[in-house]
């Protein structure tokens, strides 16, 4: 019997939980095959990876620090996606967000207290990221330039611009390496160790800082914005159908620009974690691919903040655990870890729906009697 499985509705928990978990297992299975091929015991490797990512509060700190970046970039991709825009420029927007933090701090960090400086830094990261997204958005809205092409190009432009600025303008005088001077500690995002110390919780020092809290707040705000405000309603309407948006008196151009600016601001917040929280100075290439991985995170998280947090955690585990794995087992190189991440992206992103027809068939057999009629009615 051939049935059109794509049209069979599945309960939410299968769509958002069972299928993604199956996808991850598929990816791990193929990763295991690769490991067998190079003579590594996959079970042992998996154990090492999980212990390396979650085993103690040192590794957990690193995992959550990576997670923070992925939440920001994942949300950025998701917001644009709800407006039917594919923002591939998270990388560049994060980079320019860092420029915003640096410009503000280099000018002000010696004059203002932390209570002002930290919010100003966050705002600067968001504003600069938004501004960098605004240009492709404007070009898409008013000139019809495809946002995928322009955002990719703006990643390159951002990279070149930052090299120029760091080598010629922002570099600390008398230094060889293209970095700005270190900011005054009043502009630093407090580390988790510092933040939790007053509560008697003693953590090992890791890059994990309060940006994680900012990221989680962003999740809530994005959820409220998209599903609980009229602007979010208009954004989703324009995303689903431009003619329907015009019918409803919504200006699709306005939606393109506001959605992309919001998206750019979220990507810019990567700089809050990286620059304000960890490096405390502007340096080259700090976005390190987080912007691109955000696409996979949003895909896997089905563009929903809860899904994005879970997907970010998974990628955090992969980053941190992968690094540990490469450290522990010499035959597993850094490139091998990237290949495993690639498999996860492949199965959870590009092939996300590959298993769905089989899941539907299983579901049709085991489903509670009468549930389909109820849904079809």
Residues contributing to the site for other proteins (CB under 8 A): 1-4, 7-8, 224, 228-231, 233-234, 236-237, 240-241, 243-244, 246-249, 251, 364, 370, 372-373, 375-377
Q: How far is the CB of 11 from other proteins (least distance, A)?
A: 13
Residue 88, Cβ neighbours under 10 Å: how many? 22
Q: Based on CB atoms, which residue is closest to other proteins, 240 or 327?
A: 240
CB closer to other proteins out of 226 and 343: 226
- Segment (H or E) for 265: helix 252-268
Query: CB of 252: closest distance to other proteins in angstroms?
Result: 12
Instruction: Please report how close the Cβ of residue 285 comes to other proteins at its closest, in angstroms.
Output: 39
354 vs 20, 254, 318, CA distance in Å? 11, 36, 22
CA angle (217 as vertex; 215, 221 as ends), nearest 5: 115
Residues in the chain: 377
C-alpha torsion 158→283→315→289, nearest 10: 30
Complex with other proteins: residue 169 or 365, whichever CB lies closer? 365
CB of 308 to other proteins, least distance (A): 19
| Nearer Cβ to other proteins (228/334) | 228
Closer Cβ to other proteins, 200 or 243, answer by number:
243
d(CA 35, CA 351): 22
Least Å from the CB of residue 60 to other proteins: 36
- Distance, CA of 285 to CA of 91 (rounded, Å): 10
Residues 6+ apart with CB under 8 A from 116: none
């Amino acid at each position: 019997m051939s049935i059109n499985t794509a049209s069979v509705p599945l309960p939410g928990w299968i769509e958002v939980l069972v299928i993604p978990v199956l996808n991850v297992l598929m990816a791990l299975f193929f990763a295991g095959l690769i490991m067998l091929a190079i003579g590594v015991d996959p079970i042992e490797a998996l154990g090492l990876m999980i212990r390396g990512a979650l085993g103690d509060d040192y590794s957990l700190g690193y995992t959550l620090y990576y997670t923070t970046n992925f939440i920001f970039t994942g949300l950025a991709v998701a917001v644009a996606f709800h407006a039917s825009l594919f923002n591939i420029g998270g990388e560049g927007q994060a980079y320019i967000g860092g420029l915003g933090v640096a410009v503000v701090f280099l000018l002000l960090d010696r004059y203002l207290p932390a209570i002002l400086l930290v919010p100003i830094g966050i705002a600067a990261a968001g504003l600069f990221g938004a501004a960098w997204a605004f240009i492709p958005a404007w070009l898409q809205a008013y000139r019809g330039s495809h946002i995928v092409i322009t955002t990719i190009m703006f990643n390159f432009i951002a990279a070149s611009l930052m090299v120029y600025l760091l080598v010629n303008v922002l570099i600390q005088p008398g230094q060889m390496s293209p970095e700005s001077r270190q900011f005054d500690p009043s502009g630093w995002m407090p580390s988790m160790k510092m933040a939790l110390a007053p509560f008697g919780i003693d953590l090992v020092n890791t890059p994990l800082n309060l940006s994680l809290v900012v990221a989680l707040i962003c999740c809530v705000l994005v959820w409220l914005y998209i599903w609980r405000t009229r602007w979010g309603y208009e954004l989703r309407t324009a995303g689903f159908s431009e003619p329907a948006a015009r019918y409803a008196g919504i200006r699709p151009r306005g939606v393109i620009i506001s959605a992309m600016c919001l998206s750019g601001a979220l990507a810019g917040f990567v700089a809050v974690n990286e620059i304000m929280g960890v490096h405390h100075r502007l340096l080259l290439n700090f976005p390190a691919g987080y912007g691109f991985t955000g696409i996979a995170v949003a895909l896997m998280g089905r563009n929903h903040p809860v899904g994005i947090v879970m997907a970010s955690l998974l990628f955090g585990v992969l980053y941190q655990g992968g690094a540990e794995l490469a450290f522990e087992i010499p035959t597993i190189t850094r490139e091998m870890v990237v290949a495993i991440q690639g498999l996860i992206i492949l199965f959870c992103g590009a092939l996300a729906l590959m298993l769905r027809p089989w899941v539907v068939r299983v579901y049709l057999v085991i489903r509670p009697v009468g549930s389909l009629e109820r849904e079809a009615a």
